[in-house]
Amino acid sequence: MNYLVNIHGLPVARACKGAGLSRSAWYRPLKNRLEGDQPLIEALQALAEEKPGLGFWKLYRRLRRRGYGWNHKRVHRVYCELKLNIRRRAKKRVPTRDPQPLVVPLAPNQVWSADFMSDALYGGTRFRTFNVLDDFNREALAIEIDTSLTSERLIRVFEQLETERGLPNMLRTDNGPEFLGGVFTQWCEDHGVFIDYIEPGKPNQNAYIERFNRSYRNEVLDIWLFRNLDEVREITWHWMMEYNEERDHDGLGGLTPAEVLERANVQTFDLST
């Protein structure tokens, strides 16, 4: 505009028309909005540094109590431009599940259940346990213990179980991130294991492992004070052997998991011969 008006001498109206601007753009030049907002920026930044946990409305009301007269629209505009918005954790959407009915399998390795538990050592260090159960005879197949259990660690547990007794046709789990990860789901798909996810917030759909977790909690985790992970693993191993070989279950007709498995193997042998 200055070039057209001052150098070429065009009237303001023709220069504005040629540039596609209104004449108010010439008579009222653009102002730097940040310069007018500088006092607000300084006051808002100082208050946000003093109280970093406060949201917009609490900051705005404190500014008003301190005597500043800026309206909420202006304060909110500057608040957003300064990137002071407190991010809220979005609720993770879980795909709709169609869980299979909870029934007693007719043979071993048809359906396994898996779940995580957590506890702490005497010194305060948190650790997790990964529990795997055969729904057929309620046998504890594995309890992996460590401070961190990733999807790769879960795969290692199942590969060890595969060498000992094979893999299940179906694995029932919740919607934990370890079970939803691409590494674990791809491994299960490659090995013919169907993952049956329960509906969020309905642990009763995985009742066998939940009942096992309660026994493990009451009889091991809540009883002992552990100094290190080796103690947790050793005590857990002895308890798991007793659980599988000596503990009778009402749901199994008073038999132990080992006895039910032995009977199933005998019946399979008789049918094959």
Do 51 and 150 belong together in one domain?
A: no
The pLDDT tens digits of the residues spanning 23-45 come to 666 666 666 666 678 888 889 88
Q: Is residue 210 part of a domain?
A: yes
Do 205 and 253 belong together in one domain?
A: yes
pLDDT of residue 20 exceeding 80: no
The pLDDT tens digits of the residues spanning 160-193 come to 999 998 999 999 999 888 898 889 999 999 999 9
Please return the burial class of 251, using the count of CB atoms within 10 Å of its CB with bins 0-12, 13-18 and 19+: exposed
pLDDT of residue 89 exceeding 60: no
Contacts of 112 (CB under 8 A, 6+ apart): 132, 133, 134, 135, 141, 168, 170, 171, 172
Count of domains forming the chain = 3
User: Given this model, what pLDDT does residue 83 score?
Assistant: 83
CA distance 141 to 134: 7
Q: Is residue 187 part of a domain?
A: yes
CATH at 250: 3.30.420.10
Do 142 and 239 belong together in one domain?
A: yes
Domain-terminating residue out of 55, 73, 88: 88
What's the whole-model pTM score?
A: 0.63
Domain that holds residue 24: 1-28
User: Given this model, what pLDDT does residue 228 score?
Assistant: 95
Over residues 194-199, mean pLDDT: 91
Do 194 and 65 belong together in one domain?
A: no
Q: Is residue 104 part of a domain?
A: no
Over residues 193-208, mean pLDDT: 89
Q: Is residue 100 part of a domain?
A: no
User: Given this model, what pLDDT does residue 90 score?
Assistant: 54
Q: Is residue 200 part of a domain?
A: yes
Do 227 and 190 belong together in one domain?
A: yes
The first and second tokens of residue 116, run together, are: 């995580």
96, 196 in Cβ contact below 8 A? no
Lowest mean pLDDT among 69-83, 94-108, 141-155, 204-218: 94-108
Cα 267 to the center of its chain, rounded Å: 43
CA distance 69 to 113: 62
Q: Name the region of 196 (left: φ>0; alpha: ψ -120 to 50; beta: rest).
A: beta
Do 1 and 49 belong together in one domain?
A: no
Do 236 and 120 belong together in one domain?
A: yes
Q: Which stretches of 121-271 are assigned E, i.e. beta strand? A: 126-134, 139-146, 170-173, 194-197
Do 35 and 151 belong together in one domain?
A: no
Q: Is residue 73 part of a domain?
A: yes
Do 240 and 181 belong together in one domain?
A: yes
Over residues 114-120, mean pLDDT: 95
Q: Is residue 43 part of a domain?
A: yes
19, 4 in Cβ contact below 8 A? yes
Do 75 and 6 belong together in one domain?
A: no
Do 38 and 20 belong together in one domain?
A: no
Do 144 and 211 belong together in one domain?
A: yes
Q: Is residue 14 part of a domain?
A: yes
Give the residue with greater pLDDT, 5 vs 14: 14
CA distance 250 to 204: 19
